[in-house]
Amino acid sequence: MTMRVAMVVILSFVLAVGLLAWAGWWRGRTGQQIGAGRSGGDELGYLIDASDRFAPDRIQEHRALQVWIDGLAEADLAELRRVYERAAAGGHMDGAKRELRADAPDDVRRHRLFLLFLLFDHLGDRGVAPFDSFRVGNRAIPEEPVDWSELHEDLRWVIEPAEKYGSLRFESRILDYIDGMGESERAEVRRLRARFAVDAERMEAVGGDAPLKPRTPADFIYNLTTFFAYLHWQESGDLPGRRDWDRWAEDWRRLPKQRGAADDSERR
C-alpha cells in the first residue's frame, strides 16, 4: 500500500512538472505570435498599445493633459522615448498619416493615434528630448488646406472666423483665449454669432451625415459653434439654449443697415 501511494505521488509530481513546462512553452509561443503580428502585419500596433497605456481619453482637455504629463514617471518617459524613436526610425508616420486621413477610418485607432501624438507634441513643447524634434506626432503631419468649395456662396463669410476660432479645439484653450479678448473683439464675435444664428440650421447641415473628420468644413463649423457657446458661458454662466440662438438671430435681423454695410464690406 505504501509503495502504491509513493508511486502515485511520484507520477503526480512528474505530470505536474510536465504540465507547467507545457504551459510555459505555450505562453512563449502565443506571445511570440502576438509580437510577430504587431511588428509584421500591423506596423502601427505598438503605437496603439502605447496609447492605451499612456494616453487616456481625459488628456483631450488641455489642463488635464498638463497634469498627466507632470505625473509621468521616468520609466514612463523612457518607454515613450523608445516608442517615439521606433516610429521615427521606421518611417511609420507615413502609415499613421494615412490612417488619420483615411476616407473610411477606423475611428478607434484614429482616436488612439491622435491622443498619443497629442502627448508627444506637448512633451515637445516642454523641450523634452527627443519629442522636441516633432518628427512624430500630429505636428509632423503637414496641415492640408481646408476644402470649402462645396460651401454655398452666401455662407462663405464663415470661413475666416471658422478657421480662426474653430482651430481652438480644447476647452481650456478656448477659455484662455476668451479671457484674453479685448472688448472690441468680443463685440465682433457677438456680431458674428448673431449672423451665424440666422443660418444655424444650414451651417449644421454642412457635411451631411458623414462622420466628423479633422480639418473639414464641418469640423471647423462645429468648433466655431463651440467657441460661441463658451463665450456665452463665460459671460453669463450658462451654455446657450434654443432661446438664446433665436434671440441672437433676431438681433441680427433687427440691424439691416449695419448688416448690409458689413456684407458690402466683406464682398469688397
The pLDDT tens digits for 180-203 are 999 999 999 999 999 999 999 999
For residues 196 and 260, state if they share a domain. Answer: yes
Per-residue model confidence (pLDDT) at position 172: 73
Domain for residue 103, yes or no? Answer: yes
**Is there a single domain that holds both residue 262 and residue 163?**
yes
Q: Tell whether the model's pLDDT for residue 127 goes beyond 90.
A: yes
Average predicted confidence (pLDDT) for the chain: 81
**What would the mean pLDDT of 35-43 be, rounded to a whole number?**
49
Q: How many structural domains are present in the chain?
A: 2
One domain for residues 235 and 174: yes
Per-residue model confidence as pLDDT tens digits over 202-244: 999 998 877 777 778 999 999 999 999 999 999 999 989 999 9
Question: Could you tell me if 241 and 169 lie in one domain?
Answer: yes
Domain end point (choices 110, 140, 170): 140
Name the least confident of 17-21, 109-113, 156-160, 257-261. 17-21
Residues 262, 165: one domain? Answer: yes
Tens of pLDDT, residues 89-109: 999 999 999 888 776 667 889
pLDDT band with cut points at 50, 70 and 90 for residue 27:
very low
What average pLDDT does the segment 33-59 reach? 74
Same domain, residue pair 130 and 109 = yes
Cα angle 245-248-251, degrees, rounded to a multiple of 5: 155
Domain-located, residue 25: no
Tell me if 26 is assigned to some domain.
no
Please, which pLDDT band fits residue 69 given cuts at 50, 70 and 90?
Answer: very high
pLDDT of residue 105: 64
- Same domain assignment for residues 160 and 247: yes
Cell of 47: 503605437
Residue 59 domain flag: yes
Q: 121 and 168 share a domain?
A: no
Higher-confidence position of 135 and 210: 135
- 115 neighbors 51 (Cβ within 8 angstroms): yes
pLDDT confidence band for 11 (50 / 70 / 90): very low
Whether the Cβ atoms of residue 174 and residue 216 lie closer than 8 Å to each other: no
Same domain, 131 and 167: no
Asked which of 88, 118, 140 is the last residue of a domain, the reply is 140
Whether 77 is covered by a domain: the verdict is yes
SS3 sequence, the chain? Answer: CHHHHHHHHHHHHHHHHHHHHHHHHHHHHHHHHHHHHHHCCCCCHHHHHHHHHHCCHHHHCHHHHHHHHHCCCHHHHHHHHHHHHHHHHHCCHHHHHHHHCCCCCCHHHHHHHHHHHHHHHHHHHCCCCCHHHCCCCHHHCCCCCCCCCCCCHHHHHHHHHHHHHCCCCCHHHHHHHHHHCCHHHHHHHHHHHHHHHHCHHHHHCCCCCCCCCCCCHHHHHHHHHHHHHHHHHHHHCCCCCHHHHHHHHHHHHCCHHHHHHHHHHHHC
**In a domain? residue 4:** no
Do residue 211 and residue 136 come from a single domain? Answer: no
Q: Please check whether residue 196 lies inside any domain of the structure.
A: yes
232 shares its domain with 159: yes
Query: Which of 140, 168, 189 finishes a domain?
Result: 140
Say yes or no: 113 and 168 in one domain: no
Domain that holds residue 244: 153-267
Contacts of 252 (CB under 8 A, 6+ apart): 194, 195, 197, 198, 259
Residue 253 lies inside a defined structural domain of this protein: yes
Judge whether 225 and 235 are in contact, CB under 8 Å: no
Q: The dihedral of CA 128, 170, 65, 112: what is its sign?
A: negative
Residue 35 has pLDDT above 70, yes or no: no
